[in-house]
């Protein structure tokens, strides 16, 4: 997931003569009594699309056979229907491919004997992979970065600057760690950026080229890309991405894409192609080895030590995959969230059953995916309807969590004096550029636009200050970032992108001359828990 509450997602190089795995789609008219994508499921999809504002989605079920089906539209203006071949961004399910690519290097002793799961990343990328602590730098291994146990939290704002993948990796030396390596699971997209950079450096080819040659082509995955431009050149149907705007209307993200997040996200694919990937995993087929599959899908980090309803075991993280038990069945899965798009892949290895859900509303799919997937799982397991979990309420909570509560100010500042302390400086004193060694530089201005709707808890449409990224990319170009004064030198930041709104505490500091010297924002969630901020210097 790309918002703070949200969260992240195997071996021998195959010979060029390996026969590609072919999984023909079964004709619905011939399998009408057999397909799990039946009329009952169709009605559930129809309800979910309407309830969670999803223009279109596609589903694949892999069992002995493969069943794929599209629902709704990929473009609301052109009324183009979704099919099993429609391309969607698949978000963090990309991580499974990145880990799989590493596994190919691990088993390639001839060309890459230096690459092992326990190899410290710094020994492969000595100039680039440096953390904020010398011991962590020296001891953080490849398995550590792929299982989110490096000690580095998300720090996703680093991605908002217009920088290269290598610069993203180099920025980590300036980012605070929040745990010792291998002591705590902390989802960190940036570590998958490091993995992508490692693959590109040691193979001397782009991640897109490496995945295409070594995984996607051997599996006959001809509808999968890591390059948006290459996907466009094929003239395939690439779904638009959507969100619900402040007026409650469906709006497009215009297929926003940033090449820098490759490795952690950015795969474009169809459910027909993902079915081939899922089938290979379930049947432990090449191009990965059985040893690699066991390593990738096994548990390496503990996400949650206690079971969370409706699951029956602790939640574990492997290398690009999560796992836990449900009704006595092992589930291996990963969700994906990319602005405008949502994804979910779930495997039941013992039953050799796999499910894929891809769609074109990030929040909507995140809310609906479990409702749809677990209907199919419950049907497979024969779970009585009265014993099934309430995934509708769970999905509604995901939607509600994207809205700020009316008491957001009192939640962030429960001890604010009444009346609040006045602002001690003129608004113009806060204006200017603020710099950070890793996070993007910020520009603070009092020339702000009035918002369409009042901020909940503030009942104001005009912020006191607004913040923009100095060197923005396509992700940060559309960021609306407003500052509202609360009391004294304390403020609140309301940041909104494509239907996702976050509120965080902000503090300005003044030097001995009465000049604003620092801007602190509790932008990293795991630091914010302890009241710690990221600090930008007023230049």
Percent of the chain with pLDDT over 70: 92
Residue owning tokens 């509604």: 396
- Between CA 518 and CA 269 the distance in angstroms is 44
First to last CA, the chain: 33
**CATH code reported for the domain at 408-538:** 2.40.128.600
Per-residue pLDDT of the chain (539 residues; tens, 9 = 90+): 333 333 333 222 222 222 222 333 333 334 445 899 999 999 999 999 999 999 999 999 999 899 999 999 999 999 999 999 999 999 999 999 999 999 999 999 999 999 999 999 999 999 999 999 999 999 999 999 999 999 999 999 999 999 999 999 999 999 999 999 999 999 999 999 999 999 999 999 999 999 999 999 999 999 999 999 999 999 999 999 999 988 889 999 988 888 999 999 999 999 999 999 999 999 999 999 999 999 999 999 999 999 999 999 999 999 999 999 999 999 999 999 999 999 999 999 999 999 999 999 999 999 999 999 999 999 999 999 999 999 999 999 999 888 888 888 889 999 999 899 999 999 999 999 999 999 999 999 999 987 766 666 667 778 999 999 999 888 888 888 999 999 999 999 999 888 888 999 999 999 999 999 999 999 999 999 999 999 999 99
DSSP letter for 120, please. Answer: B
- Which one, of 365, 370, 367, 436, lies nearest residue 396 by Cα? 367
Q: How far apart are CA 199 and CA 206, in angstroms?
A: 8
Q: Both tokens of residue 453?
A: 């709707």
Where do the CATH 3.40.710.10 domains begin and end in the chain? 39-94+229-400
Question: Among candidates 376, 362, 189, 175, which has minimal Cα distance to 265?
Answer: 189
Task: Identify which of 203, 254, 253, 209 has the alpha carbon closest to the alpha carbon of residue 230.
Answer: 209
CATH code matching the domain that covers 39-94+229-400, chosen among 3.40.50.280, 3.40.50.300, 3.40.718.10, 3.40.710.10: 3.40.710.10
What residue spans in the chain does CATH classification 2.40.128.600 cover? 408-538
For residues 129 and 190, give the distance between their C-alpha atoms in angstroms, rounded to a whole number.
11
Could you tell me which residues come within 8 angstroms of residue 182 by beta carbon, excluding any fewer than 6 positions away? 144, 149
Residue 217 φ/ψ, nearest 5 degrees: -65, -45
Give every CB contact of residue 424 below 8 A, 6+ residues apart in sequence. Answer: 488, 489, 510
CB 346 within 8 A of CB 329: no
């Amino acid at each position: 997931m790309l918002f703070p509450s949200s969260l992240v997602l195997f071996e021998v190089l195959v010979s060029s003569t390996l026969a590609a795995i072919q999984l023909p789609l079964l004709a619905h008219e011939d399998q009408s009594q057999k397909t799990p994508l039946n009329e009952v499921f169709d009605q559930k999809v129809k309800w979910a699309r309407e309830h969670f504002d999803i223009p279109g989605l596609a589903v694949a079920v892999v069992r002995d056979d493969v069943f794929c089906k599209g629902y709704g539209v990929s473009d609301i203006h052109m009324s183009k229907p979704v099919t099993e071949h429609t391309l969607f961004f698949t978000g963090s399910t990309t991580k499974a491919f990145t880990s799989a690519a590493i596994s190919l290097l691990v088993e390639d002793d001839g060309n890459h004997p230096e690459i092992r799961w326990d190899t410290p990343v710094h020994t492969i990328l000595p100039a680039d992979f440096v953390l904020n602590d010398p011991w962590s730098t020296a001891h953080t291994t490849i398995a550590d970065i792929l299982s989110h146990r490096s000690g580095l939290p998300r720090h996703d704002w680093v991605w908002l600057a217009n920088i290269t993948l290598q610069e993203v990796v180099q920025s980590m030396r300036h980012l605070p760690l929040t745990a010792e390596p291998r002591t705590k699971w902390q989802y960190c997209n940036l570590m998958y950026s490091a993995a992508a950079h490692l693959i590109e450096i040691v193979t001397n080819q782009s991640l897109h080229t490496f995945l295409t040659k070594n995984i996607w082509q051997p599996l006959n995955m001809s509808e999968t890309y890591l390059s948006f431009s290459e996907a466009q050149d094929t003239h395939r149907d690439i779904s638009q991405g959507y969100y619900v705007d402040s007026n409650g209307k469906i709006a497009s993200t215009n297929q926003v894409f940033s090449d820098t997040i490759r490795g952690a996200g950015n795969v474009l694919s169809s459910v027909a192609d993902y079915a081939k990937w899922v089938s290979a995993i379930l049947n432990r087929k090449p191009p990965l080895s059985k040893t690699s599959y066991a390593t990738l899908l096994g548990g390496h980090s503990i996400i949650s030590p206690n079971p969370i309803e409706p699951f029956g075991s602790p939640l574990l993280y492997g290398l690009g995959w999560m796992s836990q038990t449900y009704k006595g069945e092992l589930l291996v899965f990963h969700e994906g969230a990319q602005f405008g798009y949502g994804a979910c892949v779930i495997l039941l290895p013992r039953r050799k059953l796999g499910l894929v859900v891809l769609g074109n509303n990030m929040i909507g799919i995140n809310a609906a995916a479990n409702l749809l997937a677990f209907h199919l799982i419950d049907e497979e397991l024969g779970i009585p309807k009265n014993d099934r979990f309430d995934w509708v309420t769970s999905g509604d909570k995901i939607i509600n969590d994207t809205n700020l509560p009316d008491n957001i100010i009192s939640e962030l500042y429960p001890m604010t004096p009444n009346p609040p302390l006045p602002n001690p400086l003129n608004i113009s004193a806060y204006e200017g550029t603020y710099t950070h060694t890793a996070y993007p530089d910020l520009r603070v201005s009092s020339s702000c636009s009035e918002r369409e709707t009042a901020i909940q808890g503030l009942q104001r449409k005009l912020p006191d200050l607004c913040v923009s990224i100095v060197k923005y990319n396509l992700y940060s170009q559309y960021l609306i970032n407003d500052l509202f004064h609360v009391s004294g030198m304390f403020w609140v930041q309301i940041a909104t992108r494509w239907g996702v709104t976050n509120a965080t505490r902000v503090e300005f500091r003044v030097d001995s001359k009465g000049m604003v010297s620092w801007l602190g924002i509790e932008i990293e969630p795991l630091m914010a828990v302890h009241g710690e901020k990221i600090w930008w210097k007023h230049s």
